[in-house]
Amino acid sequence: MATWVWILIAIAVVAVIVLVAMAARQRRAAALRERFGPEYDRAVEARDGQRAAAEADLREREKQHARLEIRPLPEDARFAHEWQGLQERFVDEPADAVVEADRLVNIVMDARGYPMGDFDTQADLVSVDHPQVVENYRVAHGIHGRAQARQASTEDLREALLRYRSLFDELLRASDDEAGAPGRHRRDGVTGRGNADGDGRDPRVSAEVPGPGTRSSAEGEVDDERP
């Protein structure tokens, strides 16, 4: 066979290998975008638009997460009760309620098996399971720091509590799912849409954060005490 024929065959083989490699990379990238959602875009932005580096970071999160033992909560009803209490405390002590919310979310994460200590690492690993709400957690944690210094407004504190709740609800709901409880659906974003009851509320945790000058009634409604 002539030499030029062998050269054409070699070029064709190399071209096929390159195309296969590109297709495989695109499939991996698509899988990461599907799994991480908005967290994928955040990772790309953090890497100044370098998708390959961002995807490597996300795959490393998956590897670290695979070494964890994520487990159902032993007493999720108790945690839900504690959340209801701190949410009612927001009426009179909003900053303290946000600090307590941070503490409770950390307790739940620890109970589920996430490593505690470095916040950024903690948030990255949580993003593998809860990519839709992990940014809420980061924002809430930032407001929590200002709350400790008494530098957050009441509206900031209300936002923090809502954002903490979005992750808190997902942690409890995921625990129910892993324990085999029926009828639980994921909710996305800070508003907490899409539970099994179809009204945007978790049956165990009120979705409303009362404002200053209000009290929560026994039925879960908010009564304004002001005249």
Threshold 0.75, pTM exceeds: no
**What per-residue string of b and e applies to 18-50 under the rule 16 or more CB within 10 Å gives b?**
eeeeeeeeeeebeebbeebebbbebbbeeeeee
**What per-residue string of b and e applies to 145-177 under the rule 16 or more CB within 10 Å gives b?**
ebbeeeebeeebbbbbbbbbbbbbbbbbbbbbe
Can you give the pLDDT at residue 76?
73
Q: Which residues is 204 bridged to in the sheet?
A: none
Q: Which residues is 216 bridged to in the sheet?
A: 222
E-only strand ranges, the chain:
214-216, 222-224
pLDDT in tens, the chain (227 residues): 677 767 777 777 787 777 777 666 767 778 888 889 999 999 999 999 999 999 999 999 999 999 999 998 887 788 999 999 999 999 999 999 999 999 999 999 999 999 988 899 999 999 999 999 999 999 999 999 998 888 999 999 999 999 999 999 999 988 777 665 443 333 344 433 333 333 333 434 444 655 544 433 333 333 333 33
Can you give the pLDDT at residue 212?
47
Can you give the pLDDT at residue 8?
72
The closest of 141, 62, 139 to 105, measured between CA atoms, is 141
